[in-house]
């Protein structure tokens, strides 16, 4: 067997590995940002996919020669697995963004919206601040490395080119459990971040309502709106430590859930 024939045996499996790693570029934090040029993304995922390929498990059912009709479903499945891991890893960032959106709307900052290239959509100032704070937490805790470790570990559970059991009517619901757990944890994290401000704003609304009834001559709208902004910003400043702690706990919990599902031996 010459060198060309030996290399041809690895073309299809390597394509499946690269396709799974490429899924992170669709929903993975930072990697899916439109601010990163497509060429840089392609070079990164191809390089990492080829670097991981010698170390991962490959389904023994993959043929040496494969048609386009056979390759498209397999590539779509691999992309879906990678995108699923990236989406679960981005849950803490989405939770922070949700908390920032809720807080901004309550204190009246939701009207000032700007384009955020990191998510490819508009967001208000407070939403962007919390998003980038969560992104900094994600990167400082090794989020990029954890995502790639989870993708590499997923080849142990689902080899490259294999069909996940859940798609063929199997009883393995690990992926579904991880998704539901990540969604519930993200919702809980968003409430932990936003609840102090929401509670104070609720009290401020009650006080202003009491004043409007006690002093009818008082223009509540002209006083209450700027007061709500000032009170809200003060609450955010004094609760930054608690917000950071919540983001760290939520991010670490997400990492542990993803790693335990894809590579149980590295879970802590």
**Per-position DSSP letters for the chain, written without gaps between them:** --HHHHHHTTHHHHHHHHHHHHTHHHHSTTTT-TTS-HHHHHHHHHHHHHHHGGGS-B-TT--SS--HHHHHHHHHHHHHHHHHHHHHHTHHHHHHHHHHHHHHHHHT-TT-EEEETTTTEEEEHHHHHHHHHHHHHHHHTTHHHHHHHHHHHHHHHS-BTPPPGGGGT-S--HHHHHHHHHHHHHHHHHHHHHHHHHHHHHHHHHHHHHHHHH-TTS-HHHHHHHHHHHHHHHHHHHTHHHHHHHHHHHHHHHHHHHHHHH-GGG--
Q: What is the pLDDT of residue 68?
A: 65
Q: Average pLDDT of 163-170?
A: 51
Mean pLDDT of the residues in the chain: 80
Q: What is the pLDDT of residues 189-227, one digit of tens each?
A: 999 999 989 999 899 888 888 888 887 777 777 787 888
Q: Average pLDDT of 34-39?
A: 82
Q: What is the pLDDT of residue 249?
A: 92
Is the pLDDT score of 59 beyond 80? no
pTM, 2 dp: 0.80
Q: Average pLDDT of 69-90?
A: 85
Where is pLDDT greater, at 68 or 189? 189
> What pLDDT band is residue 128 in, cutting at 50, 70 and 90?
confident
Is the pLDDT score of 48 beyond 60? yes
Is the pLDDT score of 138 beyond 90? yes
Cα 12 to Cα 40, 78, 149, 151, 167, distances in angstroms: 23, 12, 22, 18, 21
> What pLDDT band is residue 96 in, cutting at 50, 70 and 90?
very high
Q: Average pLDDT of 79-108?
A: 89
Query: Picking from 105-114, 165-174, 178-187, which range would have the lowest pLDDT averaged per residue?
Result: 165-174
Is the pLDDT score of 71 beyond 80? no
Q: What is the pLDDT of residue 56?
A: 74
Q: Average pLDDT of 130-155?
A: 89
Query: Picking from 99-103, 109-113, 149-153, which range would have the lowest pLDDT averaged per residue?
Result: 109-113
């Amino acid at each position: 067997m010459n060198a060309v024939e030996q290399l041809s045996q690895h073309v299809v499996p390597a394509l499946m590995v690269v396709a799974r790693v490429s899924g992170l570029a669709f929903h993975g934090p930072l990697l899916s940002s439109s601010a990163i040029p497509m060429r840089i993304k392609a070079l990164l995922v191809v390089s990492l996919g080829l670097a991981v390929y010698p170390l991962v498990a490959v389904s023994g059912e993959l043929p040496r020669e494969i048609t386009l009709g056979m390759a498209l479903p397999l590539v779509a499945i691999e992309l879906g697995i990678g995108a699923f891991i990236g989406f679960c890893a981005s849950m803490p960032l989405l939770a922070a963004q949700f908390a920032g959106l809720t807080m901004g709307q309550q204190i009246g900052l939701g009207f000032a919206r700007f384009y955020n290239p990191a998510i490819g959509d508009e967001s208000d100032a407070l939403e962007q601040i919390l998003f980038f704070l969560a992104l900094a937490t994600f990167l400082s805790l090794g989020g990029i490395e954890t995502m790639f470790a989870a993708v590499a570990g997923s080849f142990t559970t689902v080899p490259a080119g294999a069909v996940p059991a859940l798609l063929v009517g199997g009883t393995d619901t690990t992926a579904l459990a991880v998704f539901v757990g990540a969604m519930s944890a993200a919702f809980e994290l968003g409430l932990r971040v936003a609840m102090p401000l929401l509670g104070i704003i609720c009290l401020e609304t009650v006080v202003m309502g009491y004043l409007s009834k006690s002093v009818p001559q008082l223009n509540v709208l002209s006083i209450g709106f700027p007061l709500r902004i000032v009170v809200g910003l003060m609450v955010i400043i004094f609760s930054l430590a608690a917000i950071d702690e919540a983001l760290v706990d939520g991010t670490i919990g997400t990492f542990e859930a993803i790693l335990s599902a894809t590579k149980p031996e590295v879970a802590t």
